[in-house]
Amino acid sequence: MSSVLQDRIAFVTGASRGIGAAVARRLHAAGAKVALASRSGDDLGLEGALGVACDVTDRGAVASAVDATVSQFGGLDIAVCNAGVGAYGDFVSLDWDKVEAMVDVNLMGTLHTARAAIPHLVARGGGDLLAVASVAGLRAFPGESVYNASKFGQVGFIRSLDHELRDHGVRCTNICPGGVATEFAFGDGREPGMPELDGMMSAEDVADVVMFALERPRSVRLLTASFRPAGEGSWG
């Protein structure tokens, strides 16, 4: 059976590993033409895909990466703002470089990607703009003040854009997972096999939800998808 995503053109940030890589692989398997953006520019060896080196904190670099995607594939139908970083601890003790990185990558990176992508989505008569935000974009957690701020910002931005872009046929979706076993989650002194990581979702579990949103008929918009590992609390 042919996929509704066959030949759709997708730009995914943070696609070199973790959730972004899982999303890029699923889109590619569904027949989409995929541009994978990250600082390394890794294309994961996906045949026909475009790897683009781009730091999402650099607005010009993001614009160039989106332009390269449009030149290569002839347009843009889907943009996934996924690149993200996290650092945890009391606000006053957080290394300031990490504070700035969370705002610059998670929030500004999403704004840069959306700004570059939206004119192309609108020009196609519609499309999809998704942010891989977090349950931390819906609920405050101790020790996550700046991560929370960046993710609440991302969620609010995408929610507001949905009002603005609905009449253009662009669906705006926040994907808000709880814990996912990626390098990101292994940060801050954690290692594979530690009990804190037991029962976390996989990057593929998140990609499933992204694909669910993208595969809805155009008459349906999924605004926010909040989902958690079975063992995680129910807040948010």
Ligand X SMILES: NC(=O)c1ccc[n+]([C@@H]2O[C@H](COP(=O)([O-])OP(=O)(O)OC[C@H]3O[C@@H](n4cnc5c(N)ncnc54)[C@H](OP(=O)(O)O)[C@@H]3O)[C@@H](O)[C@H]2O)c1
**Main-chain dihedrals φ then ψ at residue 180, nearest 5 degrees:** -130, 130
Q: Binding residue for ligand X (CB under 6 A) from 27, 52, 57, 165?
A: 57
- Residue 145 interacting with ligand X (CB under 6 A): no
What span, in angstroms and rounded, lies between the C-alpha atoms of 226 and 134? 8
Name the E strands within 65-160. Answer: 78-81, 127-132
Name the E strands within 89-204. Answer: 127-132, 170-177
Residue nearest to ligand X (CB): 84
Q: Which CB, 161 or 225, lies closer to ligand X? A: 225
- Residue 183 interacting with ligand X (CB under 6 A): yes
Report, in angstroms and rounded to the nearest whole number, the Rg of the chain calculated over CA atoms. 17
- The residue annotated as part of the active site, out of 147, 152, 157, 184, is 147
Report the SS3 class of residue 4: coil
What span, in angstroms and rounded, lies between the C-alpha atoms of 175 and 209? 8
Q: Strand pairing partners for 145?
A: none
Helix (H) or strand (E) holding 151: helix 145-165
Site for ligand X in 100-129 (CB under 6 A): 105-106
> For ligand X, how many residues bind (rule: CB under 6 A)?
31
Q: Which CB, 162 or 205, lies closer to ligand X? A: 205
- Residue 82 interacting with ligand X (CB under 6 A): yes
Q: Which CB, 17 or 124, lies closer to ligand X? A: 17
- Residue 174 interacting with ligand X (CB under 6 A): no
Which 8-state DSSP code applies to residue 200?
P
CB of 2 to ligand X, least distance (A): 29
Q: Is 147 a catalytic residue?
A: yes
Report the SS3 class of residue 144: coil
Binding mask 12-41 for ligand X (x = CB under 6 A): -xxxxxxxx-----------------xxx-
- The interaxial angle of helices 59-73 and 109-123, nearest 10 deg, is 30
Q: Binding residue for ligand X (CB under 6 A) from 30, 148, 179, 226?
A: 179
- Residue 148 interacting with ligand X (CB under 6 A): no
Q: Binding residue for ligand X (CB under 6 A) from 55, 67, 205, 232?
A: 55
- Residue 51 interacting with ligand X (CB under 6 A): no
- Residue 132 interacting with ligand X (CB under 6 A): yes
b/e map 17-34, b = 16+ CB within 10 Å: bbbbbbbbbbbbebebbb
Provide the binding-site residues for ligand X, judged by CB under 6 A.
Answer: 13-20, 38-40, 55-57, 82-86, 105-106, 132, 134, 177, 179-180, 182-185, 203
**Positions marked catalytic:** 147
